[in-house]
Amino acid sequence: MTHLDTEINDLKAELSQMWELVNSQLDKTQISLAKFDRDLALEVQENEKRVNAYELHIDKACEDFLALYQPLATDLRFILSTLKINTNLERIADIASGISEFISDVDTGFNPKILDQMSALKMLSISVEMVRDLKEAYQYENTALARTIFNRDKLLDAINEKASTLAIECLDNFPDQRRQTLHVLSIIRKIERIGDQCKNIAEEIIFYLDAKVIKHKKKLTEPDKEE
């Protein structure tokens, strides 16, 4: 194994460790929302500092790699995609921390009927699985698994699009819990953003492994519509 290969493996290992921390943040966020565990929600907020430290460290390692090795072809795609995935993971962790802030802001657990009617727990569960599957796709170089993310992101988008209408229904059905309803709506908006970050990561994995840029592909290939 060359020194370059060792450096690449070390970077992959560091990103994997960060990924596991982000997975843990999402798992704790999911549990704290379902079981109203405020202590766990506060733990997620505190651990955000660890994720930020990982991001800075990996960014620096990628910059050093570019300066020292001036990589080409696959190695260049690897380092560029790692930089972007690193940023996306930090944003996912930041969103998880934001969700936990809404959880710790209420005095009692969320009404299960509101969570169910607005599909908040279902949506969060989907996003947790997406982030976990992306780690597997990256680790085992599985672009087929990475491509499954796009349909799941569309499902999150569909739930998000219905959220406002469902929130109005919950405001009518549970007038004494309006704050909860608005918090759940805000949580759903944040989960939808996790889906966007996951889609970005999937695109980077495909770019790294298949040398295909698919970001904005639909917009670029669609013919202009006449006015």
Domains in the chain: boundaries: 3-213
CA–CA separation, 183 and 174 (whole Å): 13
CATH code of the domain occupying 3-213: 1.20.58.220
Output the pLDDT for position 66: 93
Residue with tokens 């380092």: 79
Residue type, 207: F
Q: Full-prediction pTM beyond 0.85?
A: yes
CA 147 to chain centre: 15
Residue with tokens 């087929």: 144
Output the pLDDT for position 4: 84
Nearest residue to 61 via CA among 15, 121, 116:
15
Output the pLDDT for position 215: 67
Q: What is the mean pLDDT of each run of 10 residues along the chain (227 residues)?
A: 86 96 98 96 97 97 93 92 97 98 93 97 98 96 97 97 97 96 98 98 95 62 42
Output the pLDDT for position 227: 32
CA–CA separation, 33 and 115 (whole Å): 9
Output the pLDDT for position 206: 95
CA–CA separation, 119 and 133 (whole Å): 21
Output the pLDDT for position 216: 55
Output the pLDDT for position 5: 86
Angle ∠(171,172,177) on CA atoms, nearest 5: 45
Output the pLDDT for position 2: 83
Residue type, 61: A
CA–CA separation, 157 and 143 (whole Å): 22
